[in-house]
C-alpha cells in the first residue's frame, strides 16, 4: 500500500464526490451492475437495398420505399402515402384511387392509362399508379455509442444539452465484463475511494462548522 498526495481541480473534486455519492455498492444508479460504465446512445437507421437474393436474411425487417433517388432521404413505410406524396409534389391528384397493396395484390386492376395489370408485387403496384422509379429497401434500426460516463447523472445531463444532435437517445449501462481482471476495476475503485474520502472530509468539516 502506497500513500501519495495529488492536486485536483474543483471540477475533479465535484465529479469525484458525485461519483462516490451515486455509485456506492448497491446504488440504484449502478443499475444492478458492478463497476458500471454508462453510455449515451443514439438511434441509427440503415437502409439495405432490396434484392430477392438476400430476402431470407432480411425479410424480418420492415420494407420501405422512396422515389427520391437524388439523396435517399425521404423513405415511406406506407405505399399509399408514397403515391399520394409523389403526386402532391407535382401539384396533381393521383390519376386513379389509391388503394393499399394488400387489397389489390393478386388481382387485376386498370392502371392510370386504362390498361389491365395483374398485381403480383410492389413493382407492379407502383407501375399501376405511374410512380417510377421507386427504390425498395429494408430498414434496420440500431443504437450507436456516442459518449461514455462513470456517472449516470452526467450521462442523462449530456442527453439534455446534446439532444438536438441525437436521435431518440438513451442511456445504456455495461459492467466491466465477466472475470475482467484488467485495469478497469482498479481505476474504478480508485476513483470511488477518492470521492468517498472527499465526501467524508466534507462531512467532517460541516460537522465541525455546525459545532462551532
The answer to the question of residue 4 being in a domain is: no
Q: Are residue 119 and residue 102 in the same domain, yes or no?
A: yes
CA dist 99 → 66, 81, 96, 128 (Å): 18, 10, 9, 11
Question: Around Cβ 142, how many Cβ atoms within 10 Å?
Answer: 9
Structural domain that includes position 56:
44-139
The answer to the question of residue 1 being in a domain is: no
Full pLDDT tens readout for the chain, 212 residues: 888 898 999 999 999 999 999 999 999 999 999 999 999 999 999 999 999 899 999 999 999 999 988 878 889 999 999 999 999 999 999 999 999 999 999 999 999 899 999 999 999 999 999 998 999 999 999 999 999 999 999 999 999 999 999 999 999 999 988 889 899 999 999 999 999 999 999 888 776 666 66
Q: Are residue 38 and residue 55 in the same domain, yes or no?
A: no
Q: Are residue 34 and residue 91 in the same domain, yes or no?
A: no
Q: Are residue 48 and residue 134 in the same domain, yes or no?
A: yes
Q: Are residue 58 and residue 133 in the same domain, yes or no?
A: yes
**Helix H or strand E encompassing 174:** strand 170-174
pTM above 0.85, yes or no: no
Q: Are residue 18 and residue 62 in the same domain, yes or no?
A: no
Instruction: From 67, 72, 110, select the one nearest 89 (Cα to Cα).
Output: 67
Instruction: From 37, 35, 21, select the one nearest 197 (Cα to Cα).
Output: 21
Crossing angle of helices 10-22 and 184-211, in 10° steps, is: 100
Amino acid at each position: 500500500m502506497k500513500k501519495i498526495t495529488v492536486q485536483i481541480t474543483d471540477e475533479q473534486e465535484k465529479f469525484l464526490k458525485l461519483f462516490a455519492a451515486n455509485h456506492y455498492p448497491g446504488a440504484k444508479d449502478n443499475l444492478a451492475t458492478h463497476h458500471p460504465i454508462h453510455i449515451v446512445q443514439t438511434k441509427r437507421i440503415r437502409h439495405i437495398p432490396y434484392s430477392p437474393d438476400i430476402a431470407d436474411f432480411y425479410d424480418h425487417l420492415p420494407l420501405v420505399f422512396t422515389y427520391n433517388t437524388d439523396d435517399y432521404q425521404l423513405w415511406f413505410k406506407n405505399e399509399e402515402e408514397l403515391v399520394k406524396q409523389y403526386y402532391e409534389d407535382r401539384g396533381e391528384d393521383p390519376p386513379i384511387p389509391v388503394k393499399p397493396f394488400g387489397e389489390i395484390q393478386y388481382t387485376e386492376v386498370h392502371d392510370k392509362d386504362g390498361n389491365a395489370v395483374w398485381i403480383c408485387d410492389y413493382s407492379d403496384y407502383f407501375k399501376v399508379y405511374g410512380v417510377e422509379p421507386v427504390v425498395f429497401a429494408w430498414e434496420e434500426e440500431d443504437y450507436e455509442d456516442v459518449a461514455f460516463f462513470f456517472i449516470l447523472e452526467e450521462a442523462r445531463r449530456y442527453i439534455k444539452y446534446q439532444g438536438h444532435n441525437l436521435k431518440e437517445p438513451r442511456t445504456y449501462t455495461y459492467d466491466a465484463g465477466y472475470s475482467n481482471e484488467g485495469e478497469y476495476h482498479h481505476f474504478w475503485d480508485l476513483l470511488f475511494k477518492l470521492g468517498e474520502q472527499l465526501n467524508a472530509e466534507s462531512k467532517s468539516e460541516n460537522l465541525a462548522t455546525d459545532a462551532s
